[in-house]
């Protein structure tokens, strides 16, 4: 079982915002992952079920391996249709903000969303939410935004009314944001929720295959290249580093989502505690930083201190506006700074 997450006043205010809106725009963060898309689509299905006009809008394209999810045919991509969607955004009387804690994570979508006087509703599981929404539910202890959204829907509408489509999207987000329940998922109530979602007729095995057995041959070759050629080990720090340039991405016909999960792979090495992945973005002149750790190593602290980012204890990221060589050197500086934590010579 799990306890209600919303107070009576929070439930009242949530329902008042939904019931009082006619043109709702549902949003998630740039470069949407499984949790972002799961929350975006699950909430959209809930609104459609309630007879609301709701348009899910993402800042940029989402990975091919998520296009099987129910409702993706209704998702609008802002970077492809800015002028058309600007008119839609102007007419919105409510914005739903899912899986992001500050408007900068909307990239180009930030300006029209923040220019609107329409109220904004946030459901998110990241630390330190910015003050830009009228209604905020932020719980960083949750495994995923989709877990949090399940709890919200259970509180405001009842578990019995959650549909198969909503359950499929929610499970996808929970599964992907926990590495198939390999991290940040030790609470028993997570599995109670999974059980309730299974009661909705979802096929969790098929969902797994849809996400992880849905890549191109080029992606498999890229993974081999990353592990054989690009993996750099720092055994003295129990850490590793991989880098990927734009030229290398072109060589392997890189598509959005092809590098998903690569950062986790070095953690399979015995005694490995931290994995860092640097990738040159193909859309902007930045280097995307992805970090994963095990046990108590604080990825989020390192990301905030060195990589203009943040996140969770064992999963974090950031961005750098420098050359790849400079980014690699910064990783080395960060490893040296956090050596004691990485080697277990002091407590976090």
pLDDT tens profile 213-243? 988 999 999 999 999 999 999 999 999 999 9
Q: What is the pTM of this model?
A: 0.88
User: Strand pairing partners for 28?
Assistant: 98
Kindly indicate the confidence band of residue 265, based on its pLDDT and cuts at 50, 70 and 90.
very high
Question: Lowest mean pLDDT: which of 165-174, 214-223, 339-348?
Answer: 339-348
Q: How would you write 110-132 as a 3-class SS string?
A: HHHHHHCCCCEEEEECCCCCCCC
Residues 6+ apart with CB under 8 A from 125: 99, 138, 139, 140, 141, 142, 143, 144, 145, 147, 148
Query: What's the whole-number average pLDDT of the chain?
Result: 95
Angle 215-216-219 (CA atoms, 0-180°, nearest 5)?
Answer: 85
Rounded-to-integer distance, Cα 212 and Cα 217, Å = 13
Locate tokens 């994570």: which residue?
105
Evaluate whether 260 touches 63 at the Cβ level (below 8 Å): yes
Q: What is the mean pLDDT of residues 121-133?
A: 95
The pLDDT assigned to 183 comes to 85
Rounded-to-integer distance, Cα 165 and Cα 46, Å = 9
Locate tokens 């045919």: which residue?
73
The pLDDT assigned to 282 comes to 87
Q: What is the mean pLDDT of residues 178-203?
A: 94
Beta-carbon-side half-sphere exposure of residue 245 (alpha carbons within 13 Å): 9
The pLDDT assigned to 344 comes to 84
The pLDDT assigned to 348 comes to 44
Tens of pLDDT, residue by residue over 271-308, are 999 999 999 998 889 999 999 999 999 999 999 999 99
Q: What is the mean pLDDT of residues 60-71?
A: 95
The pLDDT assigned to 97 comes to 98
Q: What is the mean pLDDT of residues 37-42?
A: 98
Kindly indicate the confidence band of residue 312, based on its pLDDT and cuts at 50, 70 and 90.
confident
Cα 297 vs. chain centroid, distance in angstroms?
A: 20
* Domain definitions of the chain by residue range: 8-212, 217-343
User: Strand pairing partners for 122?
Assistant: 97, 136
The pLDDT assigned to 346 comes to 56
Residue 70 pLDDT > 80: yes
Q: How would you write the chain as a 3-class SS string?
A: CCCCCCCHHHHHHHHHHHHCCCEEEEEECCCCCHHHHHHHHHHHHHHHHCCCEEEEEECCCCCHHHCCCCCHHHCEEHHHCHHHHHHHHHHCCEEEEECCCCHHHHHHHHHHHHHCCCCEEEEECCCCCCCCCCEEEECCCCCCHHHHHHHHHHHHHCHHHCCHHHHHHHHHHHHHHCCCCCCCCCCHHHHHHHHHHHCCCCCHHHHHHHHHCCCCHHHHHHHHHHHHHHCEEEHHHCEEEEEECHHHHHHCCCCCCCCCCHHHHHHHCCCCCEEEEEEECCCCCCEEEEEEECCCCCHHHHHHHHCCCEECCCEEEEEECCCHHHHHHHHHHHHHHCHHHHHCCCCC
Distances in Å between the alpha carbon of 274 and those of 55, 241, 290, 299, 341? 39, 9, 11, 8, 11
Q: What is the mean pLDDT of residues 22-29?
A: 97
Residue 3 pLDDT > 80: yes
Residue 22: phi and psi, rounded to 5, are -110, -30
Residue 252 pLDDT > 50: yes
The CB density around residue 344, as the number of other CB atoms within 10 Å, is 13
The CB density around residue 40, as the number of other CB atoms within 10 Å, is 31
Residue 77 pLDDT > 60: yes
CATH code linked to domain 8-212:
3.90.1640.10
CA nearest neighbour of 39 among 53, 16, 58: 58
In terms of average pLDDT, the best of 270-279, 307-316, 336-345 is 270-279
Rounded-to-integer distance, Cα 200 and Cα 164, Å = 5
Evaluate whether 148 touches 38 at the Cβ level (below 8 Å): no
Fold of 217-343: Diaminopimelate Epimerase; Chain A, domain 1 (3.10.310)
């Amino acid at each position: 079982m799990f306890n209600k997450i919303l107070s009576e006043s929070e439930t009242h205010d949530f329902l008042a915002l939904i019931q009082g809106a006619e043109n709702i725009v549902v949003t998630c963060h740039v470069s949407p992952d499984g949790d972002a898309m799961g929350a975006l689509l699950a909430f959209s299905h809930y609104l459609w079920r309630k007879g609301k006009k709701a348009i899910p809008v993402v800042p940029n394209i989402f990975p091919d391996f998520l296009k099987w999810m129910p409702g993706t045919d209704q998702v609008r991509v802002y970077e492809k249709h800015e002028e058309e969607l600007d008119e839609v955004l102007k007419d919105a009387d409510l914005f739903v903000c899912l899986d992001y804690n500050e408007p900068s994570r909307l990239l180009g979508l930030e300006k029209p969303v923040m220019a609107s006087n329409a109220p904004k509703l946030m459901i998110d599981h990241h630390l330190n939410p910015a003050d830009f929404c009228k209604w905020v539910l932020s719980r960083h202890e949750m495994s995923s935004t989709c877990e949090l959204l399940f709890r919200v829907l259970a509180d405001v509408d009842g578990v019995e009314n959650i549909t198969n489509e909503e359950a499929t999207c929610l499970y996808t987000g929970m599964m992907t944001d926990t590495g198939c329940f390999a991290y940040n998922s030790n609470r028993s109530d997570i599995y109670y929720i999974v059980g309730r979602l299974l009661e909705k007729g979802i096929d969790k095995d098929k969902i797994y295959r849809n996400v992880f057995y849905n890549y191109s041959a080029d992606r498999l070759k890229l993974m081999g290249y990353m592990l054989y050629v690009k993996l750099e080990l720092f055994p003295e720090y129990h850490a590793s580093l991989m880098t990927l340039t734009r030229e290398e991405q072109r060589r392997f016909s890189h598509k959005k989502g092809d590098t998903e999960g690569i950062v986790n792979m070095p953690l399979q090495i015995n005694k490995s505690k931290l994995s860092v992945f640097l990738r040159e973005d193909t859309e902007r002149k930045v280097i995307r930083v992805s970090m994963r750790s095990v046990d108590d190593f604080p990825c989020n602290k390192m990301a905030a201190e060195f990589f203009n980012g943040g996140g969770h204890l064992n999963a974090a990221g950031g961005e750098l506006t420098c050359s790849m060589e400079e980014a690699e050197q910064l990783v080395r500086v960060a490893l040296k700074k956090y050596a004691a934590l990485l080697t277990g010579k002091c407590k976090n």
